[in-house]
Amino acid sequence: MDGSGGDPDQRNQRTAGDVPPRLAEDQFYRALASRHRRHVLSYLLEAKEGTAEELATVLSGRKATTTGTMQTPADRSELLLELEHNHLPRLVDAGLIDYESHTGSVRLEPLHPRVEDIIRQSVEAELSADS
């Protein structure tokens, strides 16, 4: 895949006790600033990989569930465009995912356990606030 996931040697040297380098980067927090991007990462923490099409379907379903509104095929198509042109490239730039735009495949980059915890906790807090 063509995304920039950082230096693989550096990533492999990290341990659970290390402070993740990404936590000091503004780009990391900008990537997490969007609800859609947090939910993409949450989904990929479980699935590890998927496609932009799958992610659009998952996000449409979550939006329907949290807002109680029906999502139309047009809503899903709009969300897919947002993913392809905004959200997925930002996550690639932050080194969190790898995205092949010509195939639509999306793969989670190896993440430090603390980064995974931040993603999970942010989505859990958001879902609790919505209910």
pLDDT band of residue 11 (cuts 50, 70, 90) is very low
Residue-wise pLDDT for 33-86, tens only, equals: 999 999 999 999 999 999 999 999 999 998 888 878 888 999 999 999 999 999
Domain total for the chain? 1
CATH of the domain at 101: 1.10.10.10
- The single residue listed with the structure tokens 């569930």 is 65
Residue-wise pLDDT for 25-41, tens only, equals: 788 889 999 999 999 99
Residue-wise pLDDT for 96-125, tens only, equals: 999 999 999 999 999 989 999 999 999 999
Predicted confidence (pLDDT) at residue 6 exceeds the cutoff of 70: no
When the pLDDT of each residue in the chain is averaged and rounded to a whole number, the result is 85
The reply to whether 60 falls in a domain is: yes
The reply to whether 83 falls in a domain is: yes
Q: What residue numbers bound the domain in which 65 lies?
A: 23-130
The reply to whether 15 falls in a domain is: no
The reply to whether 70 falls in a domain is: yes
